[in-house]
């Protein structure tokens, strides 16, 4: 009979060689499996698409020597398009609310959606699977934003067309309904206006309505004081511009030219709710009521300034002349008093 210890040693050798065989088989299998399989899956989805336009979503991948089993597209968790090369036809569309697939422009790497709507804003997934025996599968996702553009161009209203260094000034820029809401930025002479204690900027959006942005500039505003303190003689106006943008898809602006006055502050200030608005891009035409009024006001202020300067020169001259007359009259009075006193002494 064999020694029990000898049997135990034999079993241990058997298990030892078996484990080595399994390990080598796993390593070889892993190398062979990774040699030809799905790699480098990438998804390309437009981040912003205008409502009503078409959108093409693509999925790029490298199968190397492996065969493709299927490509599936999902909106959220709902599958809406599948491509299986072994089936006939290879394309299959599933009904999903709002999605209209253009089959003539869809294949194994891309799918085209026609007439996208706002409801199609969301996450899209591309799932690629290779064929037997591995059926290796990978998936990628990306977000798409559908944009509804405003129907009209932006407009601007101002409460003054002529401003002085001591004036409060307010402007309002308006753009019609959009999705998502528009972003409004203010510029003066090409320089962006930032929010400060003396430069107040607000923006409000109402659901289903317009987006409003107001700019209020106070007398101690740095940007306004800079123009008045360093204004050259030939510069009599500034250009106020309101820029409206929606992501990188929509960019428009509206502008108005404002007169600068270095004279005394004017009290002429039309009601903001009743003033004439500007036209987009080119500002007010020269013959408009708003601009024409501003020109007349500017001429009036210039005339007032000239009269004030003339008065400042004449007043000191008049003062000296009056003092001279008063001095002459006083000297004459003193002479009369002295003569009277001499006659009085002689009589005594």
What are the tens digits of pLDDT across the range 83-102?
A: 999 999 999 999 999 999 99
Strand pairing report for 137-147 and 122-130: antiparallel
pLDDT at 206: 77
Q: Which of 62-66, 109-113, 278-282, 339-343 has the lowest mean pLDDT?
A: 278-282
pLDDT at 203: 93
pLDDT at 224 over 90: no
Length reported for the chain = 348
Average pLDDT over residues 194-215: 88
Q: What pTM value is reported for the model? A: 0.61
Q: Do residues 57 and 45 make contact, with C-beta atoms less than 8 angstroms apart?
A: yes
Average pLDDT over residues 303-317: 59
Three-state secondary-structure class, residue 123: strand
- Strand ranges for 1-102 from DSSP E: 39-44, 48-50, 55-62, 68-75, 78-83, 91-93, 101-102
In this prediction, residue 221 has a pLDDT band, given cuts at 50, 70 and 90, of: confident
Question: What is the side-by-side order of every strand in the sheet holding 55-62?
Answer: 39-44, 55-62, 110-113, 101-102
Average pLDDT over residues 103-116: 96
Average pLDDT over residues 27-39: 55
In this prediction, residue 298 has a pLDDT band, given cuts at 50, 70 and 90, of: very low
The DSSP secondary-structure symbol of 315 reads H
Q: Do residues 102 and 113 make contact, with C-beta atoms less than 8 angstroms apart?
A: yes
Strand pairing report for 110-113 and 122-130: unpaired
Q: Do residues 161 and 293 make contact, with C-beta atoms less than 8 angstroms apart?
A: yes
Average pLDDT over residues 134-152: 92
pLDDT at 49: 96
**CA gyration radius for the chain?**
43
C-alpha 90, offset from chain centre: 44
pLDDT tens by residue, 183-192: 999 999 999 9
Between 287 and 261, where is the model more confident? 261
Average pLDDT over residues 45-64: 94
Residue 52: left if φ>0, alpha if ψ -120 to 50, beta else—which one?
Answer: left
pLDDT at 132: 81
327 vs 308: CA distance, rounded Å: 29
Which residue is associated with the tokens 């998502």? 180
pLDDT at 313: 66
The DSSP secondary-structure symbol of 258 reads E
pLDDT at 8: 57
Per cent of the chain over pLDDT 90 is: 46
Per cent of the chain over pLDDT 70 is: 62
Please report the domains of the chain, with CATH numbers, ordered by start residue: 39-147 (2.60.40.10), 155-304 (2.60.40.10)
């Amino acid at each position: 009979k064999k020694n029990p210890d000898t049997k135990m040693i034999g079993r241990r050798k058997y298990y030892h060689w078996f484990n080595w065989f399994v390990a080598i088989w796993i390593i070889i299998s892993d190398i062979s499996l990774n040699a030809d399989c799905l790699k480098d899956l990438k998804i390309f989805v437009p981040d912003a698409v205008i409502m009503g336009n078409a959108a093409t979503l693509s999925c790029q991948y490298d199968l190397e020597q492996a065969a493709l089993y299927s490509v599936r597209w999902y909106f959220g968790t709902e599958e809406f398009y599948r491509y299986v090369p072994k089936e006939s036809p290879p394309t299959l569309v599933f009904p999903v609310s709002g999605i209209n697939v253009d089959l003539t422009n869809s294949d194994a790497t891309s799918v085209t959606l026609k007439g996208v709507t706002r409801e199609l804003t969301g996450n899209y997934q591309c799932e690629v699977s290779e064929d037997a025996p591995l059926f290796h599968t990978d998936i990628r996702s990306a977000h798409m934003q559908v944009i509804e553009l405003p129907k009209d161009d932006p407009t601007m209203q101002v409460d003054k067309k002529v401003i002085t260094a001591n004036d409060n000034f307010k402007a309002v820029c308006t753009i019609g309904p959009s999705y998502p809401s528009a972003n409004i930025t203010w510029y003066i002479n090409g320089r962006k206006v930032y929010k400060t204690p003396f430069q107040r900027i607000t923006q409000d959006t109402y659901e289903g309505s317009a987006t409003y942005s107001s700019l209020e500039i106070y007398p101690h505003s740095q940007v306004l004081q800079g123009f008045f303190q360093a204004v050259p003689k030939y510069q009599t106006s500034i250009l106020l511009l309101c820029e409206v943008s929606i992501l990188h898809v929509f960019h428009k602006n509206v502008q108005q030219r404002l007169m600068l006055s270095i004279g005394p502050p004017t009290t002429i200030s039309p009601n903001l709710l009743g003033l004439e608005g500007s036209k987009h891009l080119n500002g007010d035409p020269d013959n408009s009521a708003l601009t024409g009024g501003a020109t007349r006001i500017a001429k009036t202020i210039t005339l007032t300034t000239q009269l004030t300067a003339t008065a400042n020169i004449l007043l000191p001259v008049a003062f000296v002349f009056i003092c001279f007359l008063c001095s002459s009259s006083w000297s004459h009075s003193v002479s009369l008093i002295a003569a009277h006193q001499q006659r009085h002494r002689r009589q005594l």
